[in-house]
Amino acid sequence: MLPAPIVSAMLSSTARGEKDFIHKRYQDWEDSFQNLYYMFRKNLLNIFYVCTAQFVALFISGNCLEKQSCNAYLSQSTRGMRSLLRKQGVSFSMPLCKAEMEQATEDDLIEFSKIRTLNLGQTLHIDALSEVDNTTQSLLSFTGNKSVHGLYDVLLNYKSFLNSLSATDVPVLYSPVPFQNGSLHIPKVICREMRKADSGLASSSVLDDAGEPGSAASDPPLAAGSVCYSMEIKDAALPPWVVSGVCAAMTSDTDRFDLTIATEPSSLGLNAALASLGGGAQSKTTPPEGGCEALVVPGAVLVPLLRSAALRGLRYER
């Protein structure tokens, strides 16, 4: 990711080389997004993420859905974003929102902007949804191929539609399978050996350096020789298939361990068990054979009774 100030400087630069670099970067990103989406629609891919500074978009299909179609979710939204989607004819719902859906047009937003200016900063609440913007309640659900394709069109042309993202770097695409212009990314790993001392546990050795925010840590309990080991995995984001892979590696080499997970705040709205992902009432107690393959986590089971929750930790014992 390029920092926003660098992207802004390149966009305003008169040097041809810098503008060509940014244009080529955008074009490569569009090719990547198109490649991922076409694989998704052809059932060559069950899940992928589009991550921006404002929201996380999840595209998902497979045996988790009630019908053989694809769904998409926007982790959080704003009134302007919802108005834009309606203007483009994109249907969506707000399943986590407790307030009534607003029906605002672009003209309403322009009129509201003028009123707010005339009131010299006085706050004006148009409807109850003004307070849910950029929260988990503002999650948007897109059901069916037509609605999902509409969201795809808006995200593909985000430079034209979303002014707030026009001066930032291209969104990050996360996929469990290779795609055009994509690269294999390795998170930073910090390993520690912890020895029990009179004053408690003290670190005797550390491998690697600290990384970026967002991490998962695995902490087995004390071994026979009063020694335990800690492994911290840090990156801007860790998709679920990475966490699942780490757990699979740990279970093959140890009898017990604890796992602590930090959830990316902008993606909290995606941690909800919706009815559209439940496959009917039977799925509440009987998961699909082999688990939910769309999550790319072997044996994963969706439990609608949990409603909305974020996983903070796991304990494994054999």
Q: How far apart are CA 46 and CA 63, in angstroms?
A: 9
Tell me: pLDDT of 296 over 70: no
Predicted local distance difference test score (pLDDT) of residue 93: 92
Tell me: pLDDT of 282 over 70: no
Share of the chain above pLDDT 90, in %: 29
Tell me: pLDDT of 310 over 80: no
8 Å CB contact between 115 and 124: yes
Q: How far apart are CA 87 and CA 153, in angstroms?
A: 13
How does pLDDT run across 30-82, given as a tens digit for each residue?
999 999 999 999 989 889 999 998 899 999 986 555 556 789 999 999 998 99
Q: How far apart are CA 19 and CA 10, in angstroms?
A: 6
Q: How far apart are CA 45 and CA 286, in angstroms?
A: 25
8 Å CB contact between 239 and 302: no
Average pLDDT over residues 283-288: 44
Structure tokens at 282: 């039977």
Please give the mean pLDDT across all residues of the chain: 77
Structure tokens at 294: 């769309």
Residues forming a β-bridge with 217: 232, 260
pLDDT confidence band for 8 (50 / 70 / 90): confident
